[in-house]
Amino acid sequence: STGKGSFVIMEYLNLAGRSDDVALGKAVASMHLAPATEEAGNPTKAFGFAVDNTIGATPQPNPWTKPNSGTQEWVEFFRDHRIGHQLDLAGDPYCSKLWDKDIAPRLHLLFEDLKGEKEIKPSLLHGDLWSGNIGSADGKPSIYDPAVYWGHHEAEWGMAWCAGFG
């Protein structure tokens, strides 16, 4: 043996099917409302994460945005490291051209009303929340197999819509 390698050590959970969806919703909301702090791994209140990860087998880049990020930085992160990245991986020149020419330059328009008190702030996201990553452990809601990052809390529900939540 070379002594090189990696280990994953996880708590054993006695997993079962879904339990209380109201409790699940409250727990996810609590996670999303947790402040970005040094203790939470986000001392600069930025979007992104300390390491890149994967969503399924797909690489997911998570570079940090500038400190005290808001709506503008979220739009840039989402544009470049979520949608733009996925389109690059897909390698479809038609979709990439449509994105680059017509959609990405206008993406900020979807967020124009989110300023001042409505400014988007980083929320801790599971990042791959769908029915296949939800269960219960000892009768309490449990989520697992995350693709964690700090993002817009509403981004959490995109995968649920895409891959199924029910």
Residue of 21, 128, 138, 145 marked active site? 128
Q: Could you tell me the CA-to-CA distances from 25 to 33, 49, 134, 137, 142 in Å, in that order?
A: 12, 23, 11, 15, 11
Which residue, 160, 129, 142, 156, is CA-closest to 19? Answer: 142
Give me 91's structure tokens. Answer: 């390698």
- Output the CA torsion sign for 154, 158, 160, 161: positive
| Residue 128 appears among annotated catalytic residues | yes
User: Which residue has 């309490």 as its token pair?
Assistant: 140
What CA–CA distance (Å, rounded) separates 51 from 17?
30
Catalytic (active-site) positions: 128
